Amino acid sequence: MSNENMAELLFPDVRQIPADIYSLYPPRNLSSSALVTRFAPSPTGSLNIGGLYATLISERLAHQSNGVFFLRIEDTDKKREVTGSIGNIIHSLSYFGIDFDEGPLLSGDEKGTYRPYKQSSRIQIYKVFIKHLVRNGLAYPCFCDADDLQKIRIRQQNLKIRTGYYGKWAKHRDISFQQAKEEILNGKPFVIRLKSLGSADRRITYHDLVKGPIELPENDQDIVIMKTDGLPTYHFAHAIDDHLMGTTHVIRGDEWLSSVPIHIQLFETLGFKIPEYGHIAPIMKQVGASKRKFSKRKDLDGTAEYYKEQGYPGLAISEYFMNLINSDFEEWRMANSHQSFRDFFIHTDKMNVSGALLDMNKLNDISKDVISKLTSKQVFDHLYTWSKEFDSELYSLIDKNKEYTVNILDIGRTMKKPRKDYAKWSDVKPMIAYFYDEWFEKDVLGDYKLPTNVSFNVAKEIVLGFSKTYRFNNEKDAWFHEIKELAGKLGFAKDMKQFKANPNHYKGHVGDVAMVIRVALTNRTTTPDLYDIMKVMGEKRVLARMQTFVGHSI
Ligand code: GLU
């Protein structure tokens, strides 16, 4: 009876009981092999790369088993909340192609029937369960303030024993109804604590999906489940939500491993089925010869946003992560180069137990591969969206020249072994800028970058000579024939063999002649195929650039 009174004293306005809540959140109607997973970030900043990695694993596990993957925002710690984080997280997930079936949307609305998916909107639900625990003598109000807790700690430290609120140190564990009533009448703030039946001398064992068998001491601390502001703690809220939302598998960073005894205790005390847990080691950063964890403050490349800003396609990141998740993905990818990575089944027990290393070279290779498989129109669309947000100069160049840009991007793309030149969208501008007249004109205000063995006067002769034979419709063979002829006429060897046999005889070789034409048209010494470039530039532009070159003073 006194527990009942205590429950009424603490929660006079809470009229529902757990059964009322269960009727609102019936079990999911899924096959027994379907997994229900979630990403449950606290909105305390931008998504980090490790969070994104864990989220892909959760999403894959759910969807490869025809289950459900949902997003839940764990925002009960209002002090740590950073405005804009929820939008940032939703944007990032969408950029990286991680689709959630249920959860908050950018519009402020939510999708899914287990709503609400923001913990701050579920306060009444938590209170029903907290009241239920108090009614059953499994939780109690604690009126200790910071000072009281400090006194307990000092006494424990003096006695050289474990600090904390447990066993006989749990001052209000057996608080009477009368005492609690007086404290409340005096306006004393209180938290609600769970009465732990655990003992630090006993150990719990469970099988971690990633780390295998795990043994940890039982939790004997009377943890806080509701704070003085009436909001639940993360530990408590997540247990209620994972149960009501039918989570079957929890994949998260291994910084949560030490909380497992508390979580198991909560699930058991509440009479809930315990989900399967998989704890993953953080992704490591290579620094020189050693590796270390990403630092939140120092490493810009530790955030998901960084990879978006740099312009890595979301798909490239997913493809790369698949390699980190299961190393046999690489072999599968080679045998199935055109299938979606989503056709590969991941297995948590094949994951690396120690931290996977983020290898930028490998990421770049994979990304180049991903981009090489896109059509020029697809590359254009990506570039357009990306530059609109991150590179206004590029955006204005390509916005004014849409069709031209698609043609530029098409160079080397349609052959059997397409060019693998871009790893990210920010790589593109420096490689194609010369195609645009505005950019080119500014560039050649400086000097042309000619090969050192050719003087500017000779170069002018080459370009002038070439401009006379240049026909837009010349086939490649005819075009190259003209260049060879020109080379011969101007004292250059027509081929390398000739040149090598007698280098002192010539001003240079046909390659130097082609190089001069390349520089006149692009002011670059390395470009894709010169013939292809001229085709895309078109006759007018090619002639204009040759004229500019010839008219350029030294
Ligand atoms: N809200 C917790 C976090 O910020 C989630 C931990 C969990 O996945 O259980 O990481």
For a ligand 1 pocket test, name from 117, 231, 252 the mutation site with the most ligand atoms within 8 angstroms of its C-beta. 252
Contacts of 512 (CB under 8 A, 6+ apart): 451, 453, 454, 492
Domain co-membership, 184 together with 138: yes
Q: What confidence score (pLDDT) does residue 537 get?
A: 98
pLDDT for 500 beyond 70: yes
- What's the CA-to-centroid distance between 40 and ligand 1, angstroms? 5
Q: Is residue 427 a known part of a binding site? A: no
**Is ligand 1 within 6 A of the CB of residue 141?**
no
Question: Which of 230, 250, 274 is the endpoint of a domain?
Answer: 274
Is residue 405 included in any domain, yes or no? yes
Are 366 and 294 in the same domain? yes
pLDDT > 90? residue 295 = no
Q: Averaged over 212-229, what is the pLDDT? A: 97
Question: Is residue 450 within 8 Å of 519, Cβ to Cβ?
Answer: yes
Percent of the chain at pLDDT > 70 equals 100
| Ligand 1 atom nearest 44 alpha carbon | 4
Q: What is the mean pLDDT of the chain?
A: 95
The preferred substitution site among 46, 52, 72, 74 for testing ligand 1, maximizing ligand atoms within 8 Å of CB, is: 74
The one-letter amino acid code at 528 reads: P
Span from the CA of 167 to the centroid of ligand 1 (angstroms): 28
| Residues 367 and 392 reside in one and the same domain | no
Is 449 marked within a binding site? no
What is the rounded CA–CA span in Å between residue 244 and residue 249? 14
Q: Whose CA is nearest to atom 3 of ligand 1?
A: 41
1: pLDDT strictly greater than 80: no
144 is in an annotated binding site: yes
243 is in an annotated binding site: no
**One domain, residues 301 and 223:** no
How many angstroms does the Cα of residue 284 sit away from the middle of ligand 1?
20
Q: How far is the CA of 78 from the centre of ligand 1 (A)?
A: 15
Sheet containing 357-358: order of strands: 290-293, 284-287, 357-358
The finding on whether 81 has its CB within 6 A of some atom of ligand 1 is: no
Beta carbon of 263 within 6 Å of any ligand 1 atom: no
CA of 421 to the centre of ligand 1 (A): 39
* Residue at which a domain ends, from 219, 247, 274: 274
Ligand 1 centre and the CA of 229: distance in Å? 21
Is 350 among the annotated ligand-binding positions?
Answer: no
In a domain, 396, yes or no: yes
Does residue 382 contact residue 425 with C-beta atoms inside 8 Å? Answer: yes
Say yes or no: 8 and 156 in one domain.
Answer: yes
Q: Which atom belonging to ligand 1 lies closest to the Cα atom of 234?
A: 1
Same domain? 206 vs 342: no
Q: Give me the mean pLDDT over the 329-340 stretch.
A: 96
Whether 142 and 232 map to the same domain: the answer is: yes
DSSP 431: H
CB 275 near ligand 1, within 6 Å: no
Ramachandran assignment for 469, one of left (phi > 0), alpha (psi -120 to 50 degrees), beta (any other): alpha
Ligand 1 atom with the shortest distance to the CA of 250: 8
> What CATH number did the domain enclosing 463 receive?
1.10.10.350
Instruction: Give the pLDDT of residue 554.
Output: 58
- Per-residue pLDDT, 142: 98
- Nearest CA-CA partner of 155 in 174, 168, 142, 172: 168
Answer whether 8 contacts ligand 1 (Cβ < 6 A): no
Which residues fall within 8 angstroms of residue 269, CB to CB, at 6 or more apart? 133, 138, 194, 197
Residue partners of 206: CB distance under 8 A and separation at least 6:
213, 214, 260, 264, 274, 277
CA nearest ligand 1 atom 2, residue? 41
**3-class DSSP assignment, residue 316:** helix
Q: Quote the pTM value.
A: 0.93
Return the pLDDT at 345.
98
Q: Are residues 131 and 162 in the same domain?
A: yes
**Distance from Cα 489 to the centre of ligand 1, integer Å:** 74
Q: Is the per-residue pLDDT at 414 higher than 90?
A: no
21 within domain boundaries: no
CA dist 254 and 280 (Å) reads 5
77 lines ligand 1 (CB under 6 A): no
Q: Domain residues for 198?
A: 2-15+123-274
Residue 62 lies in a domain: no
Q: How far is the CA of 263 from the centre of ligand 1 (A)?
A: 12
Q: Does a structural domain hold residue 22?
A: no
Secondary structure of 476-505 in HEC code, one letter for each residue: HHHHHHHHHHHHHHCCCECCHHHHHHCHHH
The answer to whether the CB of 410 is under 6 A from ligand 1 is no
Residues of the chain above pLDDT 90, percent: 92
- Is the shortest distance between the CB of 50 and ligand 1 below 6 Å? no
Both 148 and 293 in a single domain?
no
Shared-domain flag, residues 292 and 211: no
Three-state secondary structure call for residue 124: helix
DSSP E strand boundaries for 102-178: 103-104, 110-111, 139-142
Predicted local distance difference test score (pLDDT) of residue 19 = 98
The Å distance, Cα 259 to ligand 1 centre, comes to 11
Residue-wise DSSP of 526-553: S-S-HHHHHHHH-HHHHHHHHHHHHH--
Whether 380 and 367 map to the same domain: the answer is no
Q: What would the mean pLDDT of 450-455 be, rounded to a whole number?
A: 89
The total number of structural domains in the chain stands at 4
Atom of ligand 1 nearest to the CA of 263: 9
> Which residue's C-alpha comes closest to atom 10 of ligand 1?
41
Of 30 and 469, the structure prediction assigns the larger pLDDT to: 30
CB contact at 8 A, 66 and 318: no
- pLDDT for 175-211, tens place per residue? 999 999 999 999 999 999 999 999 999 999 999 999 9
Contacts (Cβ under 8 Å, ≥6 apart) of 54: 39, 251, 252, 253, 280
Same domain, 508 and 408: no
In a domain, 518, yes or no: yes
Mean pLDDT of 417-440: 95
Q: Is 238 in the pocket of ligand 1 (CB under 6 A)?
A: yes
Ligand 1, atom 5, residue with closest C-alpha: 40
CA of 38 to the centre of ligand 1 (A): 10
Cα 215 from Cα 488, distance rounded (Å): 81
CA dihedral 358, 361, 363, 366 (to 10 degrees): -150
Q: Give the pLDDT score at 458.
A: 95
How far does the centroid of ligand 1 lie from the alpha carbon of residue 41, in Å? 5
- Within a domain: residue 256? yes
- Domain-embedded: residue 511: yes
For ligand 1, atom 6: residue with the closest CA: 40
Q: Could you tell me the distance, in angstroms and rounded to a whole number, from the CA of residue 72 to the centre of ligand 1? A: 10
Predicted confidence band at 387 (pLDDT cuts at 50, 70, 90)? very high
Q: What is the pLDDT of residues 112-169, one digit of tens each?
A: 999 999 999 999 999 999 999 999 999 999 999 999 999 999 999 999 999 999 999 9
pLDDT attached to residue 289: 87
Residues 36-78: pLDDT tens digits? Answer: 999 999 999 889 999 999 999 999 999 999 999 999 999 999 8
